[in-house]
Amino acid sequence: MEERDTREIVEVYRRPDPREVVEVYSRPLPGSEQPAPAPVKRKSRKGLWIFLACLAVIVLLAVAGRLLAGWLAPPADDRFEWDPAEERKTENSGDITIPAIPAGQGVQFCLTRDHGAVLPAQEIYRQVNPSVVTVMANLGESMSVGTGVIFTEDGYVVTNYHVLEGGSECMISLDTGEMYEARYAAGDAANDLAVLKIDGQVLPAAEFGDSDLLTVGDKVYAIGNPLGVELRGTLTDGIVSAINRDVWVDNRTMTLIQTNAALNSGNSGGPLINEYGQVVGINVIKMTSRYSNVEGLGFAIPTASMERIVNDLLTYGEIQPEPLLGISVMRTAEEAAAGVRGLRVDSVTPDGAGALAGIREGDFILAADGDAMTTSQDLLRVRRRFYVGDSMDMTIWRDGEILEVTLELKDAVEEEPETAPWYAE
């Protein structure tokens, strides 16, 4: 029997232990691979040499402990030490204090709805890699290293919010090695997206495609900086393992693309690319487990949901609330009559937009804003096009009759406090 959900167009995916694209990266201690010196036989001062050897071991253990503490500290991505001679804050408050630029500069984040021919991996890398940058945020005593993607020729870059979180300065390196000081445009922690700006001329901007065109099994690629700057520009490949996967991470639910393309620390903010060379997602987390090894479970923010978020950040400096439809629907389309399929309305909120438009429980939504409805995600995608105060047209089926209705979207979706999902193993 279909599970009922009292919230509006909500699906729940229950799986423990998703984390941002962060793993522990331990490097060998300096000199750890050097062969031990041959023992020197001395009859005198043997006790002194034993004492000095023990003292040296204690000192090395203390130094190793400090180094490992720094390497194993929870990073935003990968961490490296800043020059200690520079005066920088030592407390990471979590706030982004990178020098900022104002919103409302007329910049738009745009998706390409069509595509060309399928490209080989070599051509995809040649086209996209110049648009992939290394993002380095100063956190005080350490540095967060992630990835970003240039999306305008004048230097706007999209990355993950958690890469910049707590940062006071930010530098961006192109694949050519050119370095730029970045300014902060805007960001949103809940959606884990942020926009930076560098001052370059005719920079290589990536083409962003529509993630809604993806299907399970499609070939995808990832480019990023796994484990920081040492392996920057690494290409990995895989397939789309699932779409519209609801994943619980850091006390929030994110609807993501699932892929088995290898993602590691430093890949955060990097592109997930379709077989046509278009960026269709921003890599954000991978699944881990405390109990067993987990492989091939990476996740990316789909461009279809990014489009509204990034444009809100560019225009307003913050996310604008989505309008409330005032209806709940079943997850997948059902047959209303012979040859007629739509989303069955499960409930209608009294005095909501749907109720005032005349929608009733048991109606079938055939189309919204001209788009056919096959899943609840289709309705969510259409809703993202609208703002509070807009009007949305819908086509519904009721008792053998097709009706056209218009919803006046006067109310905003309220942010509900997130609660941890119940896990069924």
Does 192 qualify as catalytic in the annotation?
Answer: yes
CA gap 193, 163 in Å, rounded = 9
In sequence order, what are the residues at sequence separation of 6 or more whose Cβ sits closer than 8 angstroms to the Cβ of residue 320? 312, 387, 388
| Residue 17 near residue 287 (C-beta atoms within 8 A) | yes
CA gap 217, 242 in Å, rounded = 8
Which one of the listed residues 142, 162, 168, 211 is annotated catalytic?
A: 162
| Residue 329 near residue 344 (C-beta atoms within 8 A) | yes
Which one of the listed residues 131, 173, 265, 268 is annotated catalytic?
A: 268
In sequence order, what are the residues at sequence separation of 6 or more whose Cβ sits closer than 8 angstroms to the Cβ of residue 160? 20, 146, 192, 193, 194, 268, 269, 282, 284
In one letter, which amino acid is 184?
Y
Q: Where are the alpha helices (DSSP H) in 131-188?
A: 161-164
CA gap 302, 94 in Å, rounded = 25
Q: Classify residue 112 by its DSSP letter.
A: B
In one letter, which amino acid is 22?
V
DSSP bridge partners of 274: 220
Report the SS3 class of residue 274: strand
First to last CA, the chain: 20
Token duo for residue 155: 């230097």
Token duo for residue 223: 């480019």
User: Taking the CB of residue 251, how many other CB atoms lie within 10 A of it?
Assistant: 10
**Beta strands at 252-259 and 327-329: parallel, antiparallel or unpaired:** unpaired
User: Taking the CB of residue 57, how many other CB atoms lie within 10 A of it?
Assistant: 10
Side-chain-facing half-sphere of 252: CA atoms under 13 Å: 12
Which one of the listed residues 77, 192, 212, 363 is annotated catalytic?
A: 192
| Residue 151 near residue 206 (C-beta atoms within 8 A) | yes
Residue 70 host element (H or E): helix 46-71
CA gap 148, 136 in Å, rounded = 10
Does 115 qualify as catalytic in the annotation?
Answer: no
CA gap 387, 410 in Å, rounded = 9
* Catalytic residue IDs: 162, 192, 268
